[in-house]
A and B are shown apart, each in its own frame.
Chain A
Amino acid sequence: EAGVAQSPRYKIIEKRQSVAFWCNPISGHATLYWYQQILGQGPKLLIQFQNNGVVDDSQLPKDRFSAERLKGVDSTLKIQPAKLEDSAVYLCASSRTYGTSEEQYFGPGTRLTVT
């Protein structure tokens, strides 16, 4: 089966610009996650969707970050306006359903550089 797809793979923008990332989860996976991985650190969960509803967005900086998952399939993460500290790899992951025991499958990530 096809894995989690993300695009673009790389993006360079100037601070105060906006940017959007796209994720298509594994077919049939109900739960989708966005993680931020800053260089030298492990990934940190930003937001979690169950179908098209938000389960957890407690670590999402809502003044500049937004995410949606229309129709419960693919998802978009947006940053507006970007800051230098947003430079990171943004990982999307999906799991078959919602629950602690479910394995999360990760995409290749989008590497964002803010100059």
Chain B
Amino acid sequence: AQTVTQSQPEMSVQEAETVTLSCTYDTSESDYYLFWYKQPPSRQMILVIRQEAYKQQNATENRFSVNFQKAAKSFSLKISDSQLGDAAMYFCAYLGYGGSQGNLIFGKGTKLSVKP
């Protein structure tokens, strides 16, 4: 069974600085998707960035980028120029082709605080 591990329960960053959130996963599949979701306090979860495993190029969305290391099964999220609105829970998630398509497997999350 696939698993997702986020080893940093909490992280803190100064406004305008850069922070990296870590995620590792375990799978025997060769094709899959990886995601980072943001869940602000009392607000709904939104997709931050997505990476297809067959693509070697790391995904980028404005200030958000990933470092995808397929062999190491590592998928970290880098947030540049951190803003107060980035404060939230961040979840790393895995989605495989095998079994139930749509069954997102989430890590336990990392709570990010942004200091002004």
Contacts and interface: CB of A to CB of B under 8 A. Distances in A.
Interface of A: 3-4, 31, 33, 35, 40-45, 48, 55-56, 58, 91, 95, 98-104, 106-109
B103 A56 contact: yes
B102 interface: yes
Given A31-B102, A42-B91, A56-B99, 15 more contacts: A40-B108, A42-B4, A42-B107, A42-B108, A42-B109, A45-B100, A45-B103, A56-B102, A100-B32, A100-B33, A100-B101, A102-B102, A103-B47, A106-B44, A107-B44
B92 to A, nearest CB: 8
Complex A-B, nearest 8 residue pairs according to Cβ-Cβ distance, in ascending order: A42-B106, A56-B100, A106-B45, A108-B44, A100-B101, A106-B44, A45-B103, A42-B91
Q: Could you say which of B42, B45, B52, B91 has the most chain A C-beta atoms within 10 Å of its C-beta?
A: B45
Contacts of A58: 100
Contacts of A99: 101-102
13 contacts: A4-B44, A31-B102, A35-B104, A41-B109, A42-B4, A42-B108, A43-B45, A44-B106, A48-B102, A56-B102, A91-B45, A98-B102, A100-B95
Q: For this complex, into which size category does the number of interface residues on chain B fall?
A: 20 to 34
A103 B52 CA distance: 13
A3 B46 CA distance: 11
A40 B106 CA distance: 12
B24 to A, nearest CB: 14
A98 B97 CA distance: 12
Nearest to B100: A56
Contacts of B100: 45, 48, 55-56, 58
Contacts of A42: 4, 91, 93, 106-109
